[in-house]
């Protein structure tokens, strides 16, 4: 429980269904909460359920924050929420739930788990604007029978209506879009404190042919598809095409150069039986991207090659490529 409207309503619905509910939250970072931060303990008390708090700061630093900073330093754009879900929320927290003898771990994610042929399947949330299945691709398949998503069939608007009807204090609370360990969304400040020194060594801005156009401030400050803040006057809009950490070069070009048909996804995690060979699926390359039809083929050592039917814009190393069959999440991996 965060104290926000999603997790509070999820808990309320479970109480109404007759479940024995324990509300819990995780202490993940050292920074003090903001004055207007939601209070999960008060939310649990209002529902009449017991509450627990687990200190996982050390584990969160090791499993999520350090890899996040290292990934930026290597010229990649990481996805810490997917890492946190796999390693912390549906990893360490699920272990805590088991230790307590709980039958399941429930969260306020907009996703679902359904049974197909007696096997649980992770599916997209009914609210396409809020669907969070993309961020859940890396959880272990063995966790699926043990998780519940009470909001999976609801829209965000419906969640607020149901929360108001129940008089929940969180009903009107605005939701945060920030990464929890980057206060104020100040990526530059966070990375300046945490990334290795080499992450902010200035270097050349070059075009695809290698011609130098300017100087960047350090690769950690850029991501594929970025247009603003390049500081290059070229008479036409320029976008980041790639971050070459080996050469410490920022490669830029026109929008049409951002479109590609293929990618390699490594460390693929399967939530269904792994396919034996080439197959068709729809593939999502970021959380706001509509899954695009593609052919997938094994590439060895847990990697898969994705060939899209149509070019996709700004395929970004470090982000996730998540595979779908209709509503079902098949699995996914990390874009190389």
Catalytic site residues? 84, 180
Cβ proximity of 195 and 69 under 8 Å: yes
Which DSSP string do the residues of 180-231 spell out, in sequence order? TTSGGG-HHHHHHHHS-GGGG--EEEE-TT--EEEEES-GGG--TT--TT--
Nearest by Cα to 219 from 192, 197, 240, 248: 248
CA angle in degrees (0–180, nearest 5) for 98-101-105: 55
Look up residue 111 and give its two tokens: 């996703």
As a whole number of angstroms, the distance between CA 305 and CA 326 comes to 20
Measured distance CA(98)–CA(59) in Å, rounded: 18
Residue corresponding to tokens 């996914």: 332
Spatial separation of the C-alpha atoms in residues 183 and 58, rounded to whole Å: 18
**Phi (first) and psi of residue 202, to 5 degrees:** -60, 155
Three-state SS at 74:
coil
CA atoms within 13 Å, Cβ hemisphere of 119? 10
Given the structure tokens 């969260």, which residue do they identify? 107
CA 109 from centroid of its chain's CA atoms: 12
């Amino acid at each position: 429980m965060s104290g926000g409207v999603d997790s509070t309503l999820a808990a309320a619905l479970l109480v109404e269904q007759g479940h024995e509910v324990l509300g819990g939250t995780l202490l993940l970072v050292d920074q003090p909460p903001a004055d207007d931060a939601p209070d999960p303990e008060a939310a649990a008390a209002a529902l009449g359920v017991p509450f627990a708090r687990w200190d996982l700061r050390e584990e969160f630093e090791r499993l999520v924050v350090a890899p996040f900073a290292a990934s930026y330093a290597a010229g990649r754009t990481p996805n810490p929420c997917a890492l946190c879900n796999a390693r912390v929320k549906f990893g360490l927290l699920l272990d805590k739930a088991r230790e307590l003898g709980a039958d399941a771990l429930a969260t306020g994610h907009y996703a679902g788990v359904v049974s197909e042929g007696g096997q649980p399947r992770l599916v997209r949330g009914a609210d396409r604007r809020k669907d969070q299945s993309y961020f859940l691709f890396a959880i272990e398949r063995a966790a699926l029978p043990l998780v519940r998503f009470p909001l999976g069939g609801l829209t965000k608007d419906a969640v607020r209506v149901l929360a108001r009807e129940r008089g929940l204090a969180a009903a009107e609370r605005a939701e945060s879009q920030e990464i929890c360990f980057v206060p104020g969304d100040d990526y530059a400040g966070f990375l300046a404190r945490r990334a290795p020194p080499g992450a902010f060594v200035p270097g050349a801005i070059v075009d695809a042919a290698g011609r130098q156009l300017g100087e960047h401030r350090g690769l950690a400050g850029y991501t594929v598809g970025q247009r603003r803040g390049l500081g290059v006057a070229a008479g036409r809009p320029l976008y980041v095409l790639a971050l070459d950490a080996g050469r410490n070069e920022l490669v830029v070009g026109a929008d049409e150069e951002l479109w590609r048909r293929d990618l390699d996804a490594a460390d693929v995690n399967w939530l269904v039986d792994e396919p034996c060979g080439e197959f068709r699926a729809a593939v999502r390359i970021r959380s706001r991207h509509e899954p695009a039809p593609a052919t997938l083929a094994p590439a060895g050592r847990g990697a898969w090659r994705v060939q899209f039917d149509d070019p996709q814009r700004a395929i970004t190393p470090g982000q996730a490529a998540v595979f779908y069959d209709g509503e079902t999440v098949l699995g996914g991996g990390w874009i190389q």
